[in-house]
Amino acid sequence: MAVETGAFREAMARMGAAVTIVTTGTLDNATGFTASAVCSVTDTPPTLLVCLNRSARVRPAFTVNAAMCVNVLSGTQGPLSERFAGAFDMIERFQEGHWTTLETGAPVLEEATVSLDCRISQIVEVGTHSVIFGAVDALRLGGPTGGLVYFNRAYHHLPHIEAK
């Protein structure tokens, strides 16, 4: 028996995930969206995946550009996440924060806890979503800060804890 879509969505809402802003394009023609469906695939070679709804207005930019950057947000960046998840146009989205580049030219958020600059290696269509695989070309670790996670349809702030 198949699992009902609403029940599956409720189950997935109970899986906490880091909040990210995924970008593509260049500083002059930037595109980005908020994502929590991001995970590591392998560390050899360093690869991650991002899930993007096939009906999202940003999707065409990710099929045209060969690069993306996954910017992991800190606990204080909930408003920036909402900006990239909302109805703002791309120029308005990128007016907040300080944006630079690393290897690929995709926009990198200087204030991110970590930014993973990737070359898109493959896009696989699965149901309603595109699964975008990115080979990590460069990364930037931000300063010590707490994280931002999305759990049970709400943002939660994780405290910064020094590594032992």
The predicted-structure confidence for 98-151, as pLDDT tens digits, reads as follows 999 999 999 999 999 999 999 999 999 999 999 999 999 999 999 899 999 999
Could you tell me if residue 57 is left (phi over 0), alpha (psi between -120 and 50 degrees) or otherwise beta? alpha
**DSSP codes, 29-81:** SEEEEEES-EEEEEETTEEEEEEEETT-TTHHHHHH-SEEEEEEPBTT-HHHH
Q: Does some domain include residue 155?
A: no
- 3-state secondary structure at position 123: strand
Q: Does some domain include residue 48?
A: yes
Q: How far apart are CA 48 and CA 57, in angstroms?
A: 22
Count of domains for the chain: 1
Q: Does some domain include residue 163?
A: no
Q: Does some domain include residue 158?
A: no
Q: What is the pTM of this model?
A: 0.95
pLDDT (tens digit, 9 = 90+) per residue, 1-21? 789 999 988 998 888 999 999
CATH code where residue 81 lies: 2.30.110.10
Q: Does some domain include residue 8?
A: no
